Amino acid sequence: MISPDSGTKETSQEPSKLCTPCKSTAFMLIPSYSELIKCCLARGAVREGKLDHNHVFSNGCQPKTFLINILINMSVKFNLWEEAKTLFDKMPERTVVSWTTMIRSYCNAKMNYKVFEFFILMLREGVRPNMYTYSSILRACVCLFNLRQLHCGIVKVGLDSDVFVRSALIDVYAKWGELNNALCVFNEMVTGDLVVWNSIIGGFAQNSYGDEALNLFKRMKRAGFVAGQATLSSVLRACTGLALNAKLLHY
């Protein structure tokens, strides 16, 4: 099973294996908690989600890390920050999925100071960030200094070739108007990927470099990639003149 938000694979387990043994055997008869929580998230059922949360910890049962990660994800999706933080703080073992779930949730909530606070704590505990961790942290950068430090760290651990990290680097450099750096990251790409093409085209488009965005678009087409909605939206945004729009339609 893929852990929500983090993208990291974790093996789904039977309900009886998701909790440490306790006196009650009721857990043996209950459908997978992960499936119940997924249903609560899909329906926006906050009340039922809280009931599931309480039931998991009933009878003195201690859930496994896998299940606590799912509960944390549910809590942040429902904006139950205190519950999520309490679950996280009480975890006997915090995996990269646990840290990434919290970091990504703070990133989505624009709580950038918490993103870097948790990132530093994560490193101090000796947990190595993965590509999903870095892609979230990059988007929380509030200055070029932080961005460059993170970029150096990413290269050092060998994650600069990952498509998610590369795309995030391009997006953030473009956000700060550092298009030369964004283009350098793009040009280091060994094998092409549509996500990265979209990032570099979108970066030039959002900085009003229409000609460059269109040239990149043509390069992408020649490389054999099919333009998606995101690509076309970026190029159209960059095309400010009727003649340029006519060129785009031609290609």
Pairwise CA distance, residues 138 & 174, whole Å: 12
Is-contact 19 12, C-beta < 8 A? Answer: no
- The pLDDT value recorded for residue 182 is 95
At 38, the pLDDT band (50, 70, 90 cuts) reads confident
Q: Is the pTM of this model over 0.95?
A: no
The pLDDT of residue 9 is: 45
Closest CA to 6 of 96, 113, 116, 114: 96
What residues have CB less than 8 Å from 204, skipping those under 6 apart?
174, 179, 210, 212, 213, 216, 238
Using pLDDT thresholds of 50, 70 and 90, give the confidence band for residue 32. Answer: confident
DSSP-derived 3-state class of residue 63: strand
pLDDT at 102: 93
DSSP state of 61: -
**198-222 average pLDDT score:** 91
Write down the mean pLDDT value for the chain.
82
Going by pLDDT thresholds of 50, 70 and 90, the confidence category of residue 240 is: low
pLDDT of residue 2: 40
pLDDT at 245: 55
